[in-house]
Structure formats: C-alpha cells, structure tokens
Amino acid sequence: MQKIFTIKFEDKLESFNDSILSNFLGDKEIIDWESQFFERKNEYYWTVIVEYRSPTSKTSDRKEKKKDGYKDILTENDMPLFDRLREWRKETSKEEGVPPYIVFTNRELAEIAVIKPESLNALQEIKGIGDGKRKKYGKDLIELIEAHGYPVKEEGD
C-alpha cells in the first residue's frame, strides 16, 4: 500500500511537524519511501510517499512487538555493531532530512546486527528491507559489517 503525506513547514516550530507521519507509521512496516521538498506561494512543504505493509491485526502485532522487541534479539556481542548502525542511521537521516525510522527501524538494525548479512542480496532476507533499501543503503551496511570484522562476499548488483 502507498500513502502520500504533505507537511507544511511551521515557522513557529522552525521545522516540519512530522507527528502525523510518525503516528501513521507506528504500526506499519516500511517497504520503501521517497521524499521531496517544494515551495508554493512562499510556503515550504515536505512530501513523503511511503510504501508500507499493515499488520494483519493490531492485537497480534502488539503481542509480537512485546514478544519480539528488538532488544530481546540482541546479544552483548551484537551491541557494538548495533550501536554503530544506529550512529550511521542518525547521520544518514540528517543528511536526507528525514526521521531515522524512515531509513531503518530499530528492529531492522537489530536483525542486521544479529544476522550480519554477508552480501547485498542477503540483506533482503531481513523483514522490511526490500530492493529499494538494499540498493540505496546496502553498500554502506555491508561496509559497516565488514569494518566490525565480519566476513562479507563480493557480488554484483
């Protein structure tokens, strides 16, 4: 499914109030996203197009979140890579002007830290990482995994 958000820049806040976007995506799996900034009649706007998947039922989703929180899957050995992935996500989201969860959720980063994918294609094995995220961020992720001493495979894209 896709949804388009257009958010007006609020002079009072000196930013875009992304609470509507955050609230909507809170229980959804982001598959891909795209954003643009534009000006119309001396007012600034941020448009975000989000491709997402909804949970089958809110009750089962809540149970799964409690049972399968991202912190629950991480071991002490996974934490250095997870922390570095979160730093990278923060830097990337600032560069792109989007909230960090648009780049990757904590759950997705935790699974990367646990699984330590060895290739770009292996990234797509992780729920929530589709072709768009793999192409956009995959090289950076594989380099971070390799920089932490884990083996990676060279492959064409």
64: tokens are 């799964």
Q: What is the span of the domain harbouring residue 100? A: 68-157
Of 59, 77, 106, the residue that ends a domain is 59
Distance CA 21, CA 145 (A): 30
The predicted-structure confidence for 65-106, as pLDDT tens digits, reads as follows 444 578 888 899 999 999 999 999 999 999 998 888 889 999
Residue 60 to residues 20, 27, 69, 126: CA-CA distances in angstroms?
23, 11, 13, 20
Residues 22 and 98 occupy one common structural domain: no
Could you tell me what percent of the chain has a pLDDT over 70? 89
The predicted-structure confidence for 13-40, as pLDDT tens digits, reads as follows 888 888 888 888 877 888 888 888 889 9
Phi then psi for residue 47, to 5 deg, are -110, 130
Residue 133 to residues 9, 14, 37, 65, 121: CA-CA distances in angstroms?
27, 29, 20, 22, 11
The domain spanning residue 148 has which CATH number? 1.10.150.80
Position 56 confidence tier, pLDDT thresholds 50, 70, 90 = low
